Amino acid sequence: MPRRLDHLVICVRDLAQAALDWQTLGFSLTPTGVHPFGTSNRLAMFANNFLELLAVTDAATVPPASSGRFSFAAHNRDFLAGGEGMSMLAMHSADANADAARFEAHHIGAYAPFDFGRDAVLPGGGTARVEFSLAFATDPAMPGIAFFTCQQRHPPELFWKPEYQHHPNGALRVIEVVMSAPEPAEHRSFLEHITESAAELAPGRLTVGARGDRITVLGPAEMARQLPGLAVAPSPRFCAARVAVTDLDATQRVLKNNGVDFEVSGAVLLVPPAASHGLALEFVEQETM
């Protein structure tokens, strides 16, 4: 069965400022979560996936990467040296240990699974312990970015809180991640293994994953057509997230009232990466997914 999108890691330098900016974009955010390895986050949570704003907040406790061990915090610290933006993509997992073994068998991730926990602040002000297991995958042809699967090892109701899932901009969930790459077809095998689904190829474009849980890789010409004005990096990068909303007109009103720059082209409302800490946002109505 094709994997679904779990969450997007958006790496920022100043978590407090990024949170204010994303609230201006119309997202409600969870209280700050603190990791035991030097990073902190705030989430824009939906019914079954989320956007994670992440910052390095205690550099002294960031563990180094080593042979067979991927350092989540060190990866994001190093990513920030080149600027803010989406540094990692997580897919849903029911068994991170099995994922790690499968990634090693396919030569896309010889890393031990990573287990950790943190305290999550509940809507009423209390806390609950939440536990995760991650399995990482990397590709030398995609330097600077990484992928992983995320298994939640706690009762779902401790994490997925309806109180955190209502957003003034009407956001419902992330339905697509858009990447840029000089040659999209070169990344077919890796992305098929990550998503457990077959890719579709078209001139200048590769699409993989189920409808509503897709990764699309665009070449330079398709980037210029679909996301004009966005720079194309010399190596693959995450460049945009497509977010389904209940009513695009209502989303437009919220952004306009909050002074956010955006463009509307047909059925897509585009917020440029300068307004969202390095990741462009494409808002579309749910029925136009």
3-state SS of 52-93? Answer: EEEEECCHHHCCCCECCECCHHHHHHHHHCCCCEEEEEEEEC
Domain count, the chain: 2
Instruction: List pLDDT tens digits, range 52-106.
Output: 999 999 999 999 998 899 999 999 999 999 999 999 999 999 999 999 999 999 9
CB 131 within 8 A of CB 154: yes
Composition of the chain by helix, strand, coil, percent to 5: 25, 35, 40
Asked if 170 and 251 touch (Cβ cutoff 8 Å), the reply is: yes
CATH number at residue 55: 3.10.180.10
Contact status, residue 246 vs residue 172, Cβ threshold 8 Å: yes
Q: Which of 164, 180, 199 finishes a domain?
A: 164
Quick check: 164 and 43 in contact, CB under 8 A? Answer: yes
In angstroms, the CA 3 to CA 73 distance is: 24
State the residue range of the domain holding 227. 171-288
pLDDT tens for 148-195 read 999 999 999 999 999 999 999 999 999 999 999 999 999 999 999 999
pTM of this structure: 0.97
The closest alpha carbon to 10, from 145, 141, 151, 116, belongs to: 145
Regarding whether 145 and 57 lie in a shared domain, the answer is: yes
What does the pLDDT look like over 115-136, one tens digit per residue? 999 999 999 999 999 999 999 9
The Cα–Cα gap between 41 and 43 comes to: 7
Same domain, 159 and 185: no
Query: Is the same domain home to 61 and 126?
Result: yes
